[in-house]
Amino acid sequence: QVQLVESGGGLVQAGGSLRLSCAAPGLIFSIYAMGWFRQAPGKEREFVAAISSSGRSTSYADAVKGRFTGSRDNAKNTVYLQMNSLKPEDTAVYYCAADRHYPITSSYGMDYWGKGTLVTVSS
């Protein structure tokens, strides 16, 4: 059973930065595209960012484009989400997920998920 493990969430003031990490022990990491999703209270889970298996291609939701950057280190089986210029509306539980296929635009059909890490942005 593959379990992704997110870390790096926390409380930050608006305008601040956080870096989320997602470790994937036990996964043949280099063949999986990775996605970041988030779910705010009372809202559906939404796509945030995705990165191809090689790391050469990335995509972002319009709401985070220019502020968030995805990257990965295949040698460490880890994917990252650098979040800058955070806004209160970025407050959510952030999840990483793995899928064999890229691009990733939806949470449906992802192969593996983490349990999430909470990001809270205060105004």
Is 123 a residue whose pLDDT tops 90? yes
Residue 7 has a pLDDT of 98
Q: What is the pLDDT of residues 74-121, one digit of tens each?
A: 999 999 999 999 999 999 999 999 999 999 989 998 999 999 999 999
Residue 43 has a pLDDT of 96
Structure tokens at 95: 């999840």
CA nearest 23: which of 94, 75, 76? 76
For residue 96, give the DSSP letter.
E
**Is residue 60 classed as helix, strand or coil in its secondary structure?**
strand
Contact predicate 19/107, CB 8 Å:
no
Is 22 a residue whose pLDDT tops 90? yes
CA nearest 108: which of 47, 57, 54? 47
